[in-house]
Amino acid sequence: MKASQFFISTLKEAPADAEVVSHKLMMRAGMIKRLGAGIYNYMPMGLRVIRKVEAIIREEMNRAGAVELLMPVVQPAELWQETGRFQAYGPELMRVKDRHERDFVIQPTSEEVITDIARQELRSYKQLPKNFFHIQTKFRDERRPRFGVMRGREFTMKDAYSFDRDKEGALKSYQVMYDAYCRIFDRFGLQYRAVAADTGAIGGDASHEFQVIADTGEDALVYCPTSDYAANIELAEALSLLPQRAAPTQPMAKTPTPGKSTCADVAALLGLPLQQTVKSLVLATDEKNEAGDIVKSTVWLLLVRGDHDLNEVKAGKVAGLKAGWRFATVAEIEEHFGCKPGYLGPIKTIKPVQVIADRTVANMADFVCGANEADFHITGVNWGRDLPEPDVVADIRNVVVGDPSPDGKGSLAIQRGIEVGHVFYLGTKYSKAMSANYLDETGKPQPMEMGCYGIGVTRILGAAIEQNHDERGIIWPAAIAPFATVLCPIGYDRSAEVKAAADQLHDELLAAGVDVLLDDRGERPGAMFADWELVGVPLRVVISDRALKEGLLEVQGRRDAEASKVPVAEVVAQVK
């Protein structure tokens, strides 16, 4: 491929709405182009990466015995009504009507459609097990699309669905997918962790998220460096796997100094070690009317690690607040906790200074606590553990680094991660709702046992960049780089020797199966190198008159500090 034929569009500056490094770099490298909130054009450079990601996934899914098909993006609502998800899915489900006023959905996932296929096609035990997958556009009307392709509204997912005779078979299929996912993420060259995740209403222990490790990740992972224990933080807490910490029963012994309180003060008041603790605090400010009544409260969720001056927190200036850690709005916190909308909104009762650190806080009046100064209060919250009712919020999120791990084989550590894949044992949830039965040996109908397995194809790009970049740009792992090697001739338009050598090398590398791009644009070396460092091509070969005189070319890996000089005749072998 020659650069003049291809499409290259790099930017010096990232747009202001790009918060995380991967979003910034993908925009600057011309990989994606925003069309609307959470909706992107995948530009030629970005699409090459997507296609490589898809190819690896497809290969490993085929190897694992899954069969590819393709289900429609627009799906009749009837199927979604059968499972009750047309209503239950909530606002993330994009519902549309056709000209006849018939309801449709734009698929966020495909359990209904695949189960419909299975109930028609898989009639006998002899046809099981079966695993179908597709790589298809998804639409989820995310409340807060952000971080570019990491949380888009339209995105690409690989989703697979297994059908088995019984639970034992389904768990085998699950394991096959789990292993395939490990191979896929190994091949991507990403540092990841498979963590146990909550199975919610289904129960059982067969759900794992594949998390790419990155400080900017939205998820928190609890793991033990010396054993296999790893869970997402919600599960770790929900199952009370974490050591129970005695909750302070007394009201706070002292009041933080108004305006000057730091999180260390709060941690001290709560009796928790600050530096070793990852916890969340909810910070709130209130707007009052002239009579002094609170008319509106704004609540932020802040993950705290280190000391912060509350005045700075209020001003949104928190030194050391990592990218990706942010304040949340009341509505977001309500959603996060599964509260009804408006539940946290009008906070009416301000109690005297008191931090509730009880594990089960029965109602919101108790939740509002810890007035830190007249109109600024702090309260600790926790989600997921020991909750008697779904819409009740409890105490301090309480995972302490260094505590013994639940398997007793070491101590706990915490990392942040980006969920790039999710495998899930479904049981008969969908097959029973949709009467997807097969006939067993005795001719008796039995519900099929299912599993579902997703990979966020487009999210992988963001995750890979979060993990692999430097101040100059992206550093793609070789397996998913848009081009494996870029040829940078210096003076392609001026020097016949340079042009001839570059063209020949280009043709030889192509013939050897190398995904090579020749930069024939005649750019100055500085600008040319900067472009390819930004785009993140793993290997660069510089062709210059000076080195050619000695029969050499300069080969440099994206992470290498210096180029090495390689005899022209050996370059193909070295690059291949």
Per CB under 6 A, residues contacting ligand ATP are 109, 140, 142, 151-152, 155, 157, 419-422, 454, 456, 458-459
Tell the smallest beta-carbon distance from residue 164 to ligand ATP (Å).
Answer: 20
CA atoms within 13 A on the CB side of 386: 17
Q: Binding partner of residue 157 among ligand ATP, Mg ion, none, CB under 5 to 8 Å per kind?
A: ligand ATP
Tell the smallest beta-carbon distance from residue 421 to ligand ATP (Å).
Answer: 5
Tell the smallest beta-carbon distance from residue 138 to ligand ATP (Å).
Answer: 7
Q: Within 10 Å of residue 389's Cβ, how many Cβ atoms?
A: 10
Provide the residue type at 325 as one letter. Answer: W
Give, as one character, the DSSP assignment of residue 570: G
Q: Within 10 Å of residue 324's Cβ, how many Cβ atoms?
A: 20
Handedness of CA 466, 472, 477, 481 (dihedral sign): positive
Place of tokens 């001839």: 500
Q: Binding partner of residue 536 among ligand ATP, Mg ion, none, CB under 5 to 8 Å per kind?
A: none
Q: Binding partner of residue 458 among Mg ion, ligand ATP, none, CB under 5 to 8 Å per kind?
A: ligand ATP
SS3 of residue 231 by DSSP: strand
Handedness of CA 211, 213, 218, 224 (dihedral sign): positive
Token pair recorded at residue 367:
């939740």
Closer CB to ligand ATP, 335 or 440, in the complex: 335
Contact of 426 with 173, CB cutoff 8 Å: no
Q: Within 10 Å of residue 302's Cβ, how many Cβ atoms?
A: 20
Closer CB to ligand ATP, 58 or 521, in the complex: 58
Place of tokens 């040319």: 528
The rounded distance, in Å, linking the Cα atoms of 412 and 280 is 18
Closer CB to ligand ATP, 395 or 419, in the complex: 419
Closer CB to ligand ATP, 139 or 163, in the complex: 139
Give, as one character, the DSSP assignment of residue 478: G
Closer CB to ligand ATP, 377 or 422, in the complex: 422
Token pair recorded at residue 455:
């990979």
Tell the smallest beta-carbon distance from residue 142 to ligand ATP (Å).
Answer: 5
Q: Binding partner of residue 142 among Mg ion, ligand ATP, none, CB under 5 to 8 Å per kind?
A: ligand ATP
Q: Which residues pair with 231 in a beta bridge?
A: 196, 222
Q: Which residues contact 47 (CB under 8 A, 6 or more apart)?
A: none
Closer CB to Mg ion, 112 or 520, in the complex: 112
Residue nearest to ligand ATP (CB): 456
Closer CB to Mg ion, 451 or 482, in the complex: 451
Tell the smallest beta-carbon distance from residue 196 to Mg ion (Å).
Answer: 13
Q: Binding partner of residue 262 among ligand ATP, Mg ion, none, CB under 5 to 8 Å per kind?
A: none
Contact of 353 with 372, CB cutoff 8 Å: yes
Closer CB to Mg ion, 239 or 294, in the complex: 239
Residues that bind Mg ion (CB under 5 A): 419, 422
* Torsion angle defined by CA atoms of residues 293, 296, 300 and 301, in that order, rounded to the nearest 10 degrees: 80
Q: What sections of 223-303 are H helices per DSSP?
A: 233-238, 263-270
**Dmax (CA) of the chain:** 85
Beta strands 67-68; 130-139: pairing state? parallel
Contact of 29 with 45, CB cutoff 8 Å: yes
Tell the smallest beta-carbon distance from residue 188 to ligand ATP (Å).
Answer: 13
Tell the smallest beta-carbon distance from residue 424 to Mg ion (Å).
Answer: 8
Residue nearest to Mg ion (CB): 422
Closer CB to Mg ion, 48 or 422, in the complex: 422
Tell the smallest beta-carbon distance from residue 209 to ligand ATP (Å).
Answer: 7
- Closest to 397 in 3D by CA, of 278, 299, 232: 278
Closer CB to ligand ATP, 130 or 140, in the complex: 140
Q: Binding partner of residue 235 among Mg ion, ligand ATP, none, CB under 5 to 8 Å per kind?
A: none
Closer CB to ligand ATP, 419 or 520, in the complex: 419
* Torsion angle defined by CA atoms of residues 35, 36, 39 and 44, in that order, rounded to the nearest 10 degrees: 10
- Closest to 502 in 3D by CA, of 9, 48, 4: 4
